[in-house]
Structure 1
């Protein structure tokens, strides 16, 4: 009877040990967790984009008008010339355009007001070249440092703070082990 009891207890202990969740994480698993997190919660930089009725002066604002024309050629905005005042023998003419956003721009528009929109100018994606650096703090938490490379959107020329010192950023995420969901990024 004692042998049977010891045998049953040892099976129960082995069964519980086998059901224990995996508490270690490696570099590939950490990269996969971060990739899944970035798909659900993308990292990006935004700026305010002006549209609607805008007046351009030929000498002062032609560069700005060129940026809008580039967007129009890509199908992100519609440009309609409302008024053109050509001054006789002058380089200083003025043009009034009605600028409207198209459906093609909607994935890049985060918030829209009457004449301004918040648009994505840079999106950050996980870099393939630089490996994921992680440190397991304890059995249920880990710190993961990744390199995110910048990819510019079509609205990037409108970024007011366009001075880039690098083409990537380094970001650290804290991972927590959940019994139900496994390793997840902790906010």
Structure 2
């Protein structure tokens, strides 16, 4: 009888410890958690993009028109010339265009107003070459630092705050262990 009690007690102890969530995490598992998080919540940089009826006069504005023509060649906008005032042998020519966003631009447009839109200029994706660095703070939290490489979009030339000092950023995420879902990024 005593043996049976010890046997049942040991099975119950093994059963309870087997149900306990895994409290340790390794580099590969941390990378998988971060990849899953970035797929659901992508990191990106945005800027404001003007469209609608726009007038281009000076040389600097004609450079801006070149950016719009590049987008038009990629099918992201349409350019319809409404008015052209060319002055003979003068640099004071003026062009008025109706610029319209196309359906092809919709994945990059986050918010759209009447004549301005918030568009993605950079997207950050997990770098393959640099490994995930992590530090386990305690049994249920970890800090994970990853390298995210920059991937420019077609709207990148419109970024007025373009900072080309680096082609990657490092970002630290805090991972928390939950009973139901395992390791997850804590916001």
Scaled by the length of structure 1, what TM-score is found?
0.98
1:72-151 to structure 2, matched below 5 A, reads: 72-151=72-151
Deviates more, 1:33-42 or 1:52-61: 52-61
Q: Secondary structure of 1:146's partner?
A: strand
CA RMSD of aligned residues (A): 0.8
Unaligned ranges ≥5, structure 1: none
1: distance between equivalents of 2:136 and 2:181? 18
2: distance between equivalents of 1:145 and 1:163? 22
What corresponds to 1:33 in structure 2? 33
What corresponds to 2:163 in structure 1? 163
What corresponds to 1:8 in structure 2? 8
Matched pairs, number:
187
Structure 1 runs of 4+ aligned residues shifted over 4 Å read none
Deviates more, 1:83-92 or 1:174-183: 83-92
Scaled by the length of structure 2, what TM-score is found?
0.98
Unaligned ranges ≥5, structure 2: none
Do the aligned residues in 2 keep the contact of 1:58 with 1:95 (CA within 8 Å)? no
Please report how far the alpha carbon of residue 89 of structure 1 lies from its aligned counterpart in structure 2 after TM superposition.
2.3
What corresponds to 2:53 in structure 1? 53
2: distance between equivalents of 1:162 and 1:148? 17
Q: Secondary structure of 1:60's partner?
A: helix
Please report how far the alpha carbon of residue 60 of structure 1 lies from its aligned counterpart in structure 2 after TM superposition.
3.2
Q: Secondary structure of 1:61's partner?
A: helix
Q: Secondary structure of 2:185's partner?
A: strand
Q: Secondary structure of 2:22's partner?
A: coil
Q: Secondary structure of 2:59's partner?
A: coil
Q: Secondary structure of 1:28's partner?
A: helix
Q: Secondary structure of 1:75's partner?
A: coil
1: distance between equivalents of 2:36 and 2:151? 18
